[in-house]
Structure 1
Amino acid sequence: MRKHAVFLTVLFAYVVTIVSVSAVFWEFYRLNKHRYIENIFSKHETITQLYREHQQKKTSNILLEANLAVYKFIIEKEKNYQQVILKKAKVLKQKDFQRVDESIILDKKGLYTQKVVRDFRISMLEWRKKIYFYIKSPIGSVLIEDEALKPYSYFSLAYTYSTIMLIISISFLLILQRLRPLIRLRRKIARFGDGDLKISFKTSGSDEIALVSNELENAREKINTILESRTLFLRNIMHELKTPIAKGTIATQMLKTTKQRDRFCSIFGRLESLVAEFALIEEVTSISNKDDFKEYRLVDIVDEAIDMAMLDKSGITIDIDASAKLVVNYRLYTTAIKNMIDNGIKYSPDAHVKIMSIDDELCFESKGECLSEPLHYYIEPFTKDNPSKNSFGLGLYLVDSILKAHDKVLAHEYVNGQNRFIFA
């Protein structure tokens, strides 16, 4: 997920914006519709008043219709259609209340006022884009259509909502479009990190991403120039050193004194070994791809490393699964194992090293004192714990470089008087 953090952040912001705007519009729609219904429901007071007077005064239906027509109210007379409306219409609002009717009664007891309490229910209905008021009382009912009113329309609100959603969506797509060069740039950087030094970051444009790409292209060209100069320098210096070393070795044989001859042979031999190690370092650092990496059995690599070290196998114990395989550069990985065997035997008091595999990790175990410095001190070039030993201090540095080229690391631990170096 970290590879797509920017995209996920933009997507999260887009979703949150959509949800938030939708929630605001939904709440606004509910409140607006409720307010609209409350406003038009207030007309029921006028209708109720007219209907009440009609019942109290027992006026004709024609007069009731005339009074209602003043306010653009029409009585629905057809019974069948009225039943359909009452059954299928949507109830927008309903209210129950009581009405007190007073009448003057004259009988044997005299003249007095009689009060009658009647229950009323008024409902506001919506049916086929028309508004109806239905009044029901114990002595009758009436269904009245309001010609002046129309149901609540959310078209304008939906249009506004759709416009805002479209603007947000287009903005999101534009942001993604602007991020595409960044995604391509990330892929190119990954390829460059994997060793493709010829990939180009150059791009047209003047935005921030284009400026970064072009600066990376300038940096790539400078890095390639430095690497080419470094490689050319190393190869030239090694080539130039081999000739005088070879001549010096031959001239040494002409010396008459055995002591001087042996001393010069030792000097030229060390110089030749140093040039060979420089060649290996140059080869490791110049690896640009893994085309030379193939699958080999680990036991075969270890056997080849022992042969390269020209050591007696009696000083080496091997405890490795015969079926274990690795995808490696055979020559370099063999050299790394050979250097670890040399170190184990050279610095161990019993001149013995044990090679074993533990949980897919290759371990080199030998007796000796614990390292006096942290491991990173010894993997620096030309670092030696014991200057009297016959080495240049490039062994662990070369091992570490080879392991890094194989996406591995060199680790160390000290257990029960044993130094254990691990290819992890």
Structure 2
Amino acid sequence: MKRWFKKLLQFKSLTLRIWMTFIVFAGVIILALSGLYLGLFKRMEEANKLEAISIGHEMMYQILSKGNRELAPDRTINFKKVGQIHHILLKQKQGKPLEVVSIDKRPIDPPKSFMTIGQLFATYIKGETVYKETHKTRYDHQDILFMMSTLEKQVQSIEQDENLMLVSYITYINDNNLLFFILGIGFIFIIIALMVAKIISNYICNPLRRLEQQALKIANKEWVEPMKIESKDEIGRLIHSINYMQEALRHADQEERRFLQSISHDLKTPIMVIMAHAQAIEDQIYVESLENTAEIIKIEALRLENKVKQILYYNTLDYLLEKETKTSDLDLKVLLEQTISRFELLNKDIKWQITLESAKIQGNKERLQVAIENILDNQLRYAKEKIYIMLYKQDKDIWLEIGNDGPPIEDKDLPRIFEELYKDSKGKFGLGLAITKKIIVYYGGEISVVNKERGVNFKMRF
């Protein structure tokens, strides 16, 4: 049942949801007012009638039972209500039929016969003596509220074998005009609610429909003009987010295209060199010798292999870092000593100035080694005579500086040197520095590059 009800409320249209919400809200109000009328107003109306009967019955009882016909007027009594009360006497003698006598000498409505109404009241007599006993019955499609009291025996007009019962009653028909009025107001309220729901649904749904169309175009990489923000509410902020997302995706798409163009261009050069020298071997046309040609092919193949490895490593780096589980306390001094010892053999003409302090960080040894190797490879490639490395602590931070005495980086290239496959003014591409920055930042560090008076300095903070 619960699942069926939930399925019933799952509208595909937000407009229908808004309309149904307003209709249900209006229906709840109508039901609440109807229940209030039936449960409270009718009880209050009946209580007022009962109060009037009680007052009128007591006055008539005093007159008939004690002969007190000159009662002091009570100004708190609503005589208009009391005047609506009918009074009759039920006379009962042993061996004789019930006699019904009207006291107020007014036509009795709705009962058509005193005897009929009297017999109806007599059925409620349970004992010889009662006082202000209240009952409610229904007669001739009308409700009757009545009160009964037995007159005292010492009244001179009452014989010893005669029982007299004073009955005061009022007849009324349930007036449902107020209920119909409430239902009419509720119906008008529902119509107004539907009109308001239409306005609100248009206000909410129209921008959402435009956002839906915008999102579909973005999904198909159709970069269109950003949507105008006409409000500062949740819808306005959503439009701003969609516009921001489109701009970010457009930029990512451009970067992806540039990335692919750069890769294809960067890989095309060694492939062309390999193909040209391979064709030279096949045609037996050598620039110098067969050995030199084969050596060139080998060098270009290694370059190509290195670039492919970098591309593959860069594309999987985010996943590898996200799934990283092998982290431990690493001594950067030991890691640097092991890495530097291998790079010193690559160019024995370079002088290395090394100052290392013991410093431990949390991370993955293989990832950090790749990051440091990329920096050393870059510095060694452009160094003239010297490379200096410093590892030291300052306050709570660990600093690693790797510099050389090579040519400076042009100012326009400095802000973008860590971008993947950024092409500098010399037409060179690279992924190593982009890989290094991603690793350093992942482990909570920072990396920057500055030009010194002689050379370039990379500075990392952990």
TM-score normalised according to structure 1 size: 0.42
TM-score normalised according to structure 2 size: 0.39
Question: Which has the higher relative contact order, 1 or 2, with Cα contacts under 8 A spaced 6 or more apart?
Answer: 2
